[in-house]
Chain A
Amino acid sequence: MAEIEARGVRKVYGDLVAIDGLDFAAGSGELVSIVGPSGCGKSTFLHIVGGFVEPSAGTVSVPGRLGIVFQEPALFAWKTVLGNIAYGLPRRERARAVRYVELVKLGGFERAYPKELSGGMKQRVALARSLIMDPDVLLMDEPFAAVDAQTRSTLQAELLQIWERARMTVLFVTHSVDEALFLADRVYVLSQRPARVKEVLEVGLPRPREREQVLADPIYRDLHARIWSLLEA
């Protein structure tokens, strides 16, 4: 498993400074969340880490294999669920996709097309599509922001189950403080645009995390309050 390391990342669009010097690090097998207000540049930072966007300055090092899940599922409309999940695999390995359909609880929908799926189901496909490639690092860009609260809770729990077993390094971007605290080992709190790191917090909640337990835990409440005050400042 690999680490993520970013130093002095800066992104400028003409006169607009989107990111103003970010340092970031995630250790092997860590689940790190980046939290910030909408439009602060956290998605842009994730795109830079993923190598899809060039930084204006700074360095990024992600030595391992990368998987990515976006906020919009970005499924290939002309492929079935199985076809999407197997998209990155060589022909002879395509049969493995069946297991991953089960993994994300989409049994029965193997031959369905994306147009027949709900938002939550599409994200499960997107997740399976990344996981089947055995990534060392998984980048997730507000993947559950576009689904309803119930589905989001379910998907968060399922993500943790999958992650507990695979233990890849995860960079999870979100604007939800609840989500960041529930999932992560550490949380980076970003400022408004231009994005800078305000603080990095250790999430000392025990694993495995049960939602009821977490919500009742005083550590959770303290961290929650702390992050909110940082975001509001």
Chain B
Amino acid sequence: MLGALAVALLLGVWELAPRVGWVREQSVPPFSDVAREAASLLGRPEFLSDLASSGARWAAGFAVAVLIGVPLGAWMGRSRRVRRIVDPLLALGYPVPKAALILLFVLWFGAGNVARVGIVVTGCLIPIVISAMHGAAGVAPELLWAARSLGRRPPILQAALPQILSGARIAIAVAIFTVLASELLIRGSGVGAYMFDALDNGQTVTVFAVAAIVAGLGFALDAAYVLGVRRALPWLEGEL
């Protein structure tokens, strides 16, 4: 309730400020203009096709990061040797700005989808690997011993699932802004490219509208993820 009020207040200020003259309308268009442009964008085929391209890169990058990162992280969590080998690589990669990396990827792989998806994978790997690693390492030994005494293999991934799902939730957001950032830099196609073109043409309202759509999608994806996980896995305890 209080949250909704805060948002309403913010939107109210956003609407009023440019109209009253607190900020220049060219710099910050009023909320209603942005909302109208956003609605219009969602009906424009060029934008939708860019949205689809971005979406595909987001999905592919996220999926590959999960496929590689979860087993790798789990392995690191259970094997001190593997952890000792991979940990420093992760630590080095962590502070490197993805923006710098994307230029490197383009240099190596060209400006196509390999570099674009590759950078998303790189960005998502950190939260996924770390959460999988902690999840796997944190499994109570009694649980594994119980499985062993029952003649079953150690259920590492299932026991680590709550942490893995937390890491994946973070990775969803990381993937979104990594896609956007890479498209802003190397353009060509995608939502980031669309936004850059609008900025280049002085279409401030469009820039805001694209940003608003991306923010809205991010919010919706996160909410859908949390809801979906809760429904699919009713046994899960605690926060995601």
B107 touches A (CB below 8 Å): no
Hey, what's the 0/1 contact readout for B22-66 against A, CB within 8 Å counting as 1?
A: 000000000000000000000000000000000000000000000
Complex CA–CA separation, A228 to B42 (angstroms): 78
**Cβ of A70: which chain B residues have Cβ within 8 Å of it?**
142, 145-146
The count of residues in chain A whose C-beta lies closer than 8 Å to any C-beta of chain B is 23
Contact A78–B233 (Cβ < 8 Å): yes
**Cβ of B145: which chain A residues have Cβ within 8 Å of it?**
47, 50, 52, 68, 70, 74
Complex CA–CA separation, A196 to B235 (angstroms): 43
**Cβ of B161: which chain A residues have Cβ within 8 Å of it?**
78
B159 touches A (CB below 8 Å): yes
Complex CA–CA separation, A67 to B148 (angstroms): 10
- Shortest Cβ distance from residue B203 to the other chain A in the assembled complex, whole angstroms: 50
Complex CA–CA separation, A70 to B145 (angstroms): 10
Contact A66–B149 (Cβ < 8 Å): yes
Interface size class of B (residues with CB under 8 A): 20 to 34
A114 touches B (CB below 8 Å): yes
Within 8 A of B (CB), among A62-97: 66-68, 70, 72, 74, 76-80, 87-88
**Cβ of B239: which chain A residues have Cβ within 8 Å of it?**
none
Contact A87–B152 (Cβ < 8 Å): yes
Contact partner of A76 among B155, B233, B234, CB < 8 A? B155
Complex CA–CA separation, A209 to B140 (angstroms): 35
**Cβ of B235: which chain A residues have Cβ within 8 Å of it?**
77-80, 113-115
B220 touches A (CB below 8 Å): no
Closest to A68 in B: B149
Contact B148–A77 (Cβ < 8 Å): no
Closest to A79 in B: B235
Complex CA–CA separation, A70 to B237 (angstroms): 21
Q: Which of A66, A78, A129, A133 has the most CB of B within 10 A?
A: A78
Contact B142–A72 (Cβ < 8 Å): yes
**Cβ of A88: which chain B residues have Cβ within 8 Å of it?**
149-152
B224 touches A (CB below 8 Å): no
B147 touches A (CB below 8 Å): yes
**Cβ of B158: which chain A residues have Cβ within 8 Å of it?**
76, 78
Contact partner of B140 among A47, A74, A133, CB < 8 A? A74
Contact B237–A115 (Cβ < 8 Å): yes
**Cβ of A74: which chain B residues have Cβ within 8 Å of it?**
140, 142-143, 145-146
20 further A-B contacts with Cβ under 8 Å, apart from A74-B143, A115-B235, are: A47-B145, A52-B148, A67-B149, A68-B145, A70-B142, A70-B145, A72-B142, A74-B140, A74-B146, A77-B159, A78-B235, A87-B147, A88-B149, A88-B151, A113-B234, A113-B235, A126-B146, A129-B146, A130-B149, A133-B151
